[in-house]
Amino acid sequence: MGEHTADRTAARARAELRGDCASCFGLCCVALPFARSADFAIDKDAGTPCANLRTDHRCGIHATLRERGFTGCTVYDCFGAGQRVSQVTFGGGDWRTGPPERTRRMFDVFPVVRQLHELLWYLTEALTLPAARPVHADLREALAGTERLAGGTPEELAALDVPAHRQRVNVLLLRTSELVRAGTRGRRKNRRNADLMGARLKGADLAGADLRGAYLIAADLTGADLRGADLIGADLRDTDLTDADLTGAFFLTQPQVNAARGGPGTRLPDSVSRPVHWTAGR
């Protein structure tokens, strides 16, 4: 497959790995627990519908989530798990009208499918990276295997050992990262799982760095060079990315970007979109 064709295929796949709320029964607003915090204005148990969820499965305060203390809702993305569980796994059956056992099972498998879809996101991206060609066959196999698991029955999904599968995929993602960063001058910058909370990294040269799982909460990365950096699992809550360059940064997800701060001068990789609240000044 040519590189342009592969990119188009990946773009289509990535579009499907984004939440489509119109095709979902508001699962993230019901199935997940919330703890009152800076991200959520209320406490809520798993399986209890949020008080703001309307009967048509839309959010009643969608336009004012941040002002009302629900920043977490503007950051979250289900990677397309919501529409799969609603329309495919449970065949379009609404949790509001189904028997309680079926409803419980739906809420149980939603986070499982979300984790599998997150892996599909990484594997899809890895297959677009030319430097990872030596492991493309393994990546394709892992992608097909993960897709098979995500398409399982509710019972199969509920019984799935997700951490074990994640571990197997992670070996491949690590290898991908090494191959991609091998050609960059920053390949030796290892900040894996580093505690960089609140760090002053204005203008830092982090090109090609390994920032897997790094804690960058509220760090100042304004004007930093993050080109070609591996950002898988990095915690970017309130990280200031104003004027930072993330061109070619990989394994970055939309929720990570949504959680960070940025502006018109922030350069993002093509895989993610610029959050609306960056331009709305919220």
Give the footprint of ligand SF4 on this chain (CB under 6 A).
Answer: 29, 50, 52-53, 59, 61, 70, 73
**Nearest CB to ligand SF4, comparing residues 10 and 61:** 61
Report which of 63, 78, 83 is spatially closest to residue 280, judged by C-alpha positions: 63
Which residue, 59 or 162, has its beta carbon nearer to ligand SF4?
Answer: 59
Q: Rounded to an integer, what distance in angstroms lies between the CA atom of residue 241 and that of residue 223?
A: 7
SS3 190: strand
Structure tokens at 200: 């002053």
Of the pair 13, 50, the CB lying nearest ligand SF4 is at 50
- 222 near 240, Cβ under 8 Å? yes
Tokens of 66: 């941040």
Q: How far is the CB of 53 from ligand SF4 (least distance, A)?
A: 4
3-class DSSP assignment, residue 150: helix
Q: Between 58 and 148, name the residue whose CB sits nearer to ligand SF4.
A: 58
State the distance between the two ends of the chain, measured CA to CA, in whole angstroms.
42
| CA angle 70–76–80, rounded 5-degree value | 140
What is the smallest separation between the CB atom of 68 and ligand SF4, expressed in angstroms? 8
Q: Which residues contact 37 (CB under 8 A, 6 or more apart)?
A: 72
Cβ contacts of 270 within 8 Å, gap of 6 or more: none
In this structure, are residues 121 and 17 in contact, taking their beta carbons and an 8 Å threshold?
A: yes
Question: Taking the complex as a whole, how short is the minimal distance between the CB of residue 89 and ligand SF4, in angstroms?
Answer: 20
What residue type is 150 in one-letter code? A
Task: Compare residues 50 and 201 and give the one whose CB is closer to ligand SF4.
Answer: 50
Contact 50, 30 (CB under 8 A): yes
Shortest distance in whole angstroms from residue 195 CB to ligand SF4: 30
Query: What is d(CA 212, CA 122) in angstroms, rounded to the nearest whole number?
Result: 13
Considering the complex, what minimum distance in angstroms separates the CB of residue 41 from ligand SF4? Answer: 8
- Supply the minimum distance, in Å, between the C-beta of residue 38 and ligand SF4: 14
Residue 37 or 153: the one with the smaller Cβ distance to ligand SF4 is 37
**Alpha helix positions (H), the chain:** 3-16, 28-31, 71-75, 81-84, 100-126, 136-150, 154-158, 162-181, 254-259, 276-280
Least distance between ligand SF4 and beta carbon 149 (Å): 27
Closer of 82 and 269 to ligand SF4 (Cβ): 82
- Least separation in angstroms between residue 28's CB and ligand SF4 is 7
Choose between 9 and 52: whose C-beta lies nearer to ligand SF4.
Answer: 52
